[in-house]
């Protein structure tokens, strides 16, 4: 009698544990039987296969989403780096005309007047300003494009005219009308140049 009571208690404890484990499982899957045979067992196997397929699809979706997120992150990092590197492009392009005017001012003073006491201070001041501007350009990655004596490079030079020259090979830059500049590895302004051609 005591053994029967013990067996009853053990059975109810096991039943409650089973109920707890099956909590949340739809009733149609609970009634399928333990052996998985028959029509209901077939439904259970079909549902299991469907769930596995859904799981594989979800795994693939997660992998694609991770890859897409990684690509977006890399693109954003590149955009941020470019924005930092080339933020001064518009301002630099505008300030180039100041550099041009300083160079023209120095060139406009004749050589004989540069040593004159009345003009010497003015020329020295303009040259100092030009040096300071070049230093600021260099600090921000703005460099002057080499032109005279080099072959014409359409990526950096803009040919404005052809100059007949027996001393230079055709296509060589022989004259620079306006200096060109790069900002890091990008073109800021092409150099406007005259290019040699064979004389007629």
Q: Report all structural domains of the chain as residue ranges with CATH numbers, in order of start.
A: 89-197 (2.30.22.10)
**Whether residue 50 has pLDDT greater than 80:** yes
| Predicted local distance difference test score (pLDDT) of residue 132 | 92
Whole-model pTM: value is 0.57
| Predicted local distance difference test score (pLDDT) of residue 34 | 47
18-46 pLDDT, tens digit each:
677 777 666 666 655 444 444 555 688 88
Q: Identify the residue with better confidence: 162 or 12.
A: 162
| Predicted local distance difference test score (pLDDT) of residue 17 | 74
**Residue 64 pLDDT grade (very low, low, confident, very high; cuts 50, 70, 90):** very high
| Predicted local distance difference test score (pLDDT) of residue 37 | 47
**Whether residue 11 has pLDDT greater than 60:** no
DSSP-assigned beta bridge partners for residue 197: 164
Q: What is the mean pLDDT of residues 67-94?
A: 86
**Whether residue 162 has pLDDT greater than 80:** yes
Tell me the DSSP string of the chain.
Answer: -HHHHHHHHHHHHHHHHHHHHTTTS-HHHHTT-SS--HHHHHHHHHHHHHHHHHHHHHHHHHHHHHHHHHHHHHHHHHHHHHHHHTTTHHHHHHHHHHHHHHHHHHHHS-HHHHTSHHHHHHHHHHHHHHHHHHHHHHHTTEEEPP-TTSBP-TTTEEEEEEEE-SSS-TTBEEEEEE--EEETTEEEEPEEEEEEE---
Chain-wide mean pLDDT for the chain? 80
């Amino acid at each position: 009698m005591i053994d029967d009571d013990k067996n009853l208690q053990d059975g109810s404890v096991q039943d409650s544990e089973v109920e707890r484990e099956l909590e949340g499982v739809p009733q149609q899957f609970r009634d399928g039987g333990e052996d998985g045979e028959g029509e209901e067992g077939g439904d259970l196997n079909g549902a299991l296969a469907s769930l596995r397929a859904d799981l594989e699809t979800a795994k693939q979706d997660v992998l694609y989403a991770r890859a897409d997120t990684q690509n977006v992150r890399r693109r954003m990092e590149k955009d941020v780096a470019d924005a930092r590197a080339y933020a001064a492009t518009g301002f630099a392009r505008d300030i180039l005309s100041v550099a041009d005017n300083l160079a023209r001012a120095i060139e406009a003073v004749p050589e004989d007047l540069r040593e004159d006491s009345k003009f010497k201070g003015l020329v020295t001041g303009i040259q100092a300003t030009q040096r300071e501007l070049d230093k600021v350009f260099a600090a921000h990655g703005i460099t002057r494009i080499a032109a005279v004596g080099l072959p014409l490079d359409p990526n950096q030079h803009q040919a404005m005219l052809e100059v007949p020259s027996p001393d230079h090979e055709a296509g060589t830059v022989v004259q620079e009308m306006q200096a060109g500049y790069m900002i890091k590895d990008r073109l800021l302004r092409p150099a406007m140049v005259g290019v040699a051609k064979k004389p007629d």
